[in-house]
Amino acid sequence: MKCIYFLLMIYKKDGCLYEHIRWGEAFVIVYSVNDRHSFREARELLGQLSKLKLPSYYTSLLLGNKRDLDHCRQICVDDGHELSLQYGCQFYEVSAAENFAGVSLAFQSLLREAKSVQLLKSLPIRRKLGVNSVSKVLGNIFGKNSKGDRKKRPSLSI
């Protein structure tokens, strides 16, 4: 099976943002937990992402960085969770300065999901699932319950 995984790290807007979003299949959106402005930007980017990518399925990860700076935290973990639920992305809080393991686990998790999506997309046409079915399958994998309650996806704070 021939698979190519694209990973794009969007942090600051550049002139080619829309171009990147068009070809990307997996996205990492990073904000700093001690910077309200970066969280606003993350929300904006997630909105643009869903506008440009839907109805195709894509994989995204919302990453709250600098969690070691708890004393000057401006964004609580629930706000991050809430935003990730709104856009159906994975969510982790990490500290790149303290420990790379959390960042590494978050990326591995994103790639695992991207790989599952690739696998579903590669199914023969007749067996191919629609976007809703793909979401349902991923919901089952990541713990959404059948009644559609907005259960938090697993997340990690290291």
Ligand X SMILES: Nc1nc2c(ncn2[C@@H]2O[C@H](COP(=O)(O)OP(=O)(O)OP(=O)(O)O)[C@@H](O)[C@H]2O)c(=O)[nH]1
Phi, psi of 13 (to 5 degrees): -70, 135
Residues pairing with 92 in the sheet: 63, 156
Question: What are the Cα distances from residue 143, in Å, to 69, 89, 115, 155?
Answer: 30, 13, 18, 12
* Contact code string over 72-111 relative to ligand X, x by CB under 6 A: -----------------------xxx--------------
Smaller CB separation from ligand X, 56 or 98: 98
* Contact code string over 52-71 relative to ligand X, x by CB under 6 A: -------------xx-xx--
Number of residues that bind ligand X (CB under 6 A): 9
Q: Which amino acid, 58?
A: Y
Where along the sequence are the contacts to ligand X (CB under 6 A)?
A: 11, 32, 65-66, 68-69, 95-97
